[in-house]
Amino acid sequence: MVHRMPAERTRQHTTPVAAARRRRLRADRARQLADLLRHQILGGRFPDGVLPHEEVIGADYGATRNTVRQALGLLRAEQLVERQPGVGTVVVCQKFPHGLDRLMGLAETLHRHGRVTNEVRTISPVTAPAPVADRLRIPPRSEVLYIERLRRLDGAPLSLDLTYVPMRLGPALLDADLENTDVFRLIEEAAGQPLGTAEITLEAVNADAHSAAVLEAPRGTAVLMLERLTHLADGTPVDLEFIRFRGDRITMRGLLHRTV
């Protein structure tokens, strides 16, 4: 015999499930809308820095008012926007584009957005750690020039760069104006040939206490870590860098081509 659950008990059982599903769908839609609005913000779609009213956003994107509010809440949690009484939702954090499809220094990439300066925190010959010597193709325990720089854009901390350069190029960098000149340009002058290619790895890592303090970011916050091994035009590796970018101030962009 098949026992059937009374209709009332069935409704009591399914109602919480349906409500949870509606909440999940609303949260999904809020994330989707937040992604679209973030793209618009970073692309300069709101030049006056003020987002449209919630009702306008809802009409433009076909979203309910609750979904719009949740999406704006996600962007506020990212500290990208904030609510100002009498004004509305305003952009409070600008991100700057860093291209991944060309081999350029930070100052070359961001020159249109402000002045990039380097605070040289450390510059000294050191014994190359084994992985560094291996990547730079130099004998084990060779000396390399180690440089630690805090990069700022118009005075605001942007990245912490840890750089290893073979000592055959070191003397030219030791005597150079590293505070106002990109390492790339100095390496090309010292090597007598242009840079050619770079291998890059990009990932998100948690800021350690030292990095967080230097970048003036909360300890444990996520930062973008760019590992870059740069070669001269003849293929010789000359620059190994570990660059920690503040994720709230930089966005990575590139143009990729599909090849068969």
pLDDT tens-digit readout, 138-187: 999 999 999 999 999 888 899 999 999 999 999 999 989 898 888 999 99
Q: What is the DSSP letter of 228?
A: E
Q: Are 81 and 38 in contact (CB under 8 A)?
A: no
Report d(CA 28, CA 192) in Å as an integer: 54
Residue 204, class by beta-carbon neighbours within 10 Å (0-12 exposed, 13-18 middle, 19+ buried)?
Answer: exposed
Amino acid identity, residue 155? G
Whether residue 1 lies inside any domain: the answer is no
Mark which of 91, 114, 146 sits at the end of a domain: 91
Closest CA to 222 of 212, 233, 234, 236: 212
Q: What torsion do the CA atoms of 173, 174, 179, 183 make, to the nearest 10 degrees? A: 20
How high is the mean pLDDT of the chain? 86
Whether residue 259 lies inside any domain: the answer is no
Residues 83 and 117 in one domain: no
Q: What is the DSSP letter of 50?
A: B
Residues 182 and 102 in one domain: yes
Q: What is the mean pLDDT of residues 77-88?
A: 85
The half-sphere exposure of 164 on its side-chain side, counting CA atoms within 13 A, is 22
Tell me the pLDDT tens digit for each residue of 93-151. Answer: 777 777 888 888 777 777 777 888 889 999 999 999 999 999 999 999 999 999 999 99
Q: What is the reported pLDDT for 42? A: 76
Cross-strand bridge partners of residue 150:
119, 160
Whether residue 260 lies inside any domain: the answer is no
Query: Residue length, the chain?
Result: 260
Give the number of domains in the chain: 2
Q: What is the reported pLDDT for 221? A: 83
Q: What is the reported pLDDT for 129? A: 94
pLDDT at 15 over 80: no
Q: Are 106 and 100 in contact (CB under 8 A)?
A: no
Whether residue 226 lies inside any domain: the answer is yes
Residue that wins the pLDDT comparison between 46 and 9 = 46
Mark which of 38, 62, 91 sits at the end of a domain: 91
Whether residue 249 lies inside any domain: the answer is yes
Q: What is the reported pLDDT for 139? A: 96
Q: What is the mean pLDDT of residues 178-203?
A: 92
pLDDT at 53 over 70: yes
**Range with lowest mean pLDDT among 23-32, 113-122, 210-219:** 23-32
- Token representation of residue 217: 């970011």
Residues 104 and 86 in one domain: no
pLDDT at 10 over 70: no
Domain range holding 22? 7-91
User: How confident is residue 12, by pLDDT bands cut at 50, 70 and 90?
Assistant: low
Whether residue 46 lies inside any domain: the answer is yes
